Amino acid sequence: MKEKYIEIIDNNLDKNFIINSENCTWDKIYNSKNAQNCYIADNFEDVKFCEIWYEAKDCFWCVGLKNSKYCILNKQYKKQDYFKLKEKIINYIIDTWEFWEFFPMQNSPYCYNETLAQNTFKLSKKEILDLWLDYKEEEKQEAYTWPEIKIPENIKKTSDSILKEVLKCKTCSKNYKIIKQELSFYKKIWISLPESCFKCRNLERIKIIKPVIF
Ligand SMILES: [Zn+2]
């Protein structure tokens, strides 16, 4: 399955996915209309600068919402206030030329290397600190001292008792756990539990995923 996925990604690396949509720009947009500069969007209409959510209409600059209307920066407004404020913001940021800029990184409540920015624009600790951004040190973890658990290859043979176990990552040897929601998800799609921790899986994913194109 993984090989097939990599083949699809490789064959479409230079293409943005905009499917069954009209007047939409950026990437991974489905069943939408007038979704401008949106990323990972399904069922959008008249939406600008929004990312990762489903069923949105008349929203601006939001992320990770679902079934939303008249939101700006993830805050809900009344219909008449939404259109007034949106126009005011757009006029301001066009006048000040901020319209074409990213949000200032210094406004982020997270350290640079904790954010998805590190996936796309990877920086070293020194580079991060040189930009006057925050850097989060790797958390020290206790050595793995539990008896090693063999994860069953067959998800059907994986019992709920695995939720109580501390597992050892096959890649970095650090500890990780499986939560109830993960176990039920893997059971639902018939895939065995991961043998690596979240961080290692994410690094693996970034290597094969289509890069975000700005
Ligand atoms: Zn790991």
Q: Which two tokens stand for residue 94?
A: 């066009």
Report yes or no: 206 and 119 within 8 Å, Cβ to Cβ: yes
**Band of the pLDDT at 13, cuts 50, 70, 90?**
low
Calculate how far, in angstroms, residue 147's C-alpha sits from the geometric centre of ligand 1. Answer: 17
The residue among 102, 103, 123 whose CA lies nearest residue 112 is 123
Calculate how far, in angstroms, residue 56's C-alpha sits from the geometric centre of ligand 1. Answer: 36
Calculate how far, in angstroms, residue 201's C-alpha sits from the geometric centre of ligand 1. Answer: 7
Q: Domain segments of the chain: what residues?
A: 16-100, 106-137, 155-208
Each residue's pLDDT tens digit, 119-138: 778 899 999 999 999 999 98
Each residue's pLDDT tens digit, 177-205: 999 999 999 999 999 999 999 889 988 88
Each residue's pLDDT tens digit, 55-97: 888 988 888 888 889 999 889 999 999 999 999 999 998 898 8
Rounded to whole angstroms, what are the CA distances from 108 to 114, 134, 179, 197? 10, 9, 28, 26
Calculate how far, in angstroms, residue 131's C-alpha sits from the geometric centre of ligand 1. Answer: 28
At residue 38, the pLDDT reads: 86
Q: Mutual orientation of helices 198-208 and 2-11 as an angle, nearest 10°?
A: 40
Calculate how far, in angstroms, residue 185's C-alpha sits from the geometric centre of ligand 1. Answer: 20
At residue 101, the pLDDT reads: 79
> CA geometry: angle at 106 spanning 104 and 108, to 5°?
90
pTM above 0.85, yes or no: no
Summary mean pLDDT of the chain = 85
**Band of the pLDDT at 103, cuts 50, 70, 90?**
confident
Calculate how far, in angstroms, residue 57's C-alpha sits from the geometric centre of ligand 1. Answer: 40
- Residues with beta carbon < 5 A to ion ligand 1? 169, 171-172, 197, 200
The residue among 63, 10, 202 whose CA lies nearest residue 122 is 202
